[in-house]
Amino acid sequence: MESFKGKLAVITGAGTGMGRELALALAAEGAHLGLCDVAEETLAETRHAAEALGTGVQVSTFLCDVADEQQMLAFRDHVAAAHETDALHLLFNNAGIGGGGTITDPASRPAWDKTFAVCWGGVLNGVRAFMDMLKAADKAHIINTASINGFWASVGPHTPHTAYSAAKFAVKGFTEALITDLRLNAPHIQCSVVMPGHIGTQIVANSMKVLQQDPAGLGEEAIAAVRAQMVEAGLPVANLPDDDIRGLLRARAMEFEASAPTTAQAAAEIILQGVREQRWRILVGEDAHAIDRLVRENPENAYEPAVIEQMYALGHFKGLVRSVESS
C-alpha cells in the first residue's frame, strides 16, 4: 500500500499523541478517517485539524472505550454508516494507557485490570470488530501498537510495570501469530506490530485521567502504593500529603512528554513508512533499536540494573527511566 490517498483508515486513541499525528499525516495524503477516543474535546480537535489538512477528506469521530467490545462494535457500525462502505483499508489499534503497577497489592487491581483491558483488549476488540470490513477491501493492513515493553518488561529496577508490559507482550505475540493466520485465511490483509521507545505523548497524563474515573485509580490506597515506591527509591516523601503526591505525578507526566527523544509526529512518520514497506516489525526511535539490541545480546541479564547503566552510557532512556523511577 504505497499510497494512502482515497483509503479509509480507522484509528483508536486518536485524540492526542501518535493517534492524532497518524490522523493528520494520513489526512494530508488524502485518506479518509474513522477516529475514536474516550476524550470528546481532544477528539474534536483532531477532527478539525485533519479536515483542514485534507481537501475532500471525510473524517468521522466516535466516543469509544476500546476495552468494551460492544462499544467497539458500535464504532464499527458508525464507521460503515458514516463512510457508506463495507470495506476498511487501514486499522490502527493505537489506544493505550499506562498504569497498574504491582500485582502483589490487591488495591491495585482496578487500575491493573483497566490498563490490561485497554492495551490488550482494545487491540483484540479492534481486530474482531473490523475483520469483516478488512476482508471486504481489496488490500488491507492491521497496525497494532505494542511498545518496547512488549519485548522488555521493565521501566527500570525500582518500578513494577506488570499490567502494561503483559498487555504489550500480548499485542506483540498476537500480531506475530496473525502473520500466519492472515496468510492462510485472508492473504490480502497485512499486519504490523509497532514498538515505540520513549515518545513525546500525553500517555502519562491521559492515563491518570482515565484511571481517576475509577476511585482506585489515584485514590488513597493507590497513592499510598506510589508513596511506598518513592520511599523505597530513596525519596523523602513519607510525610507528604496525598495531593502533593498527585502533584508529583502530574509533574512526572509533563517531564515524560518534554524529555522524549522522539516526537509523536516523527513516530507517525516512521510507522507509516513501515506500512508502506510492508514491514511486520516497526521499531520507533533510536532508543527502541538500542534496547532491542541489548536484550537480544544478553537476555539472561535484561532485567539487571547493569542494563540501565548501558542505556545511560549510550545516551538513551535517561529522561524516561529517571522520570519513572523518581515517581
Point out the residues that are catalytic: 164
How buried is 53 (Cβ within 10 angstroms: 0-12 exposed, 13-18 middle, 19+ buried)?
middle
- Rounded distance, CA 323 to CA 87, Å? 43
Q: What 3-state class would DSSP assign to 33?
A: strand
How buried is 299 (Cβ within 10 angstroms: 0-12 exposed, 13-18 middle, 19+ buried)?
exposed
How buried is 279 (Cβ within 10 angstroms: 0-12 exposed, 13-18 middle, 19+ buried)?
middle
Please name the residue that has the C-alpha cell 474513522: 34
**CB neighbour list of residue 122: distance below 8 Å, 6 or more residues apart:** 12, 66, 67, 72, 93, 95, 96
- Rounded distance, CA 42 to CA 15, Å? 5
Which residue from 167, 145, 147 is spatially nearest to 155, judged by alpha carbons? 147
- Rounded distance, CA 139 to CA 188, Å? 5
Answer yes or no: are the C-beta atoms of 295 and 152 closer than 8 Å.
yes
Answer yes or no: are the C-beta atoms of 38 and 210 closer than 8 Å.
yes
- Rounded distance, CA 145 to CA 58, Å? 24
- Rounded distance, CA 16 to CA 38, Å? 11
Q: How many CB atoms lie within 10 A of CB 212?
A: 15
- Rounded distance, CA 105 to CA 228, Å? 12
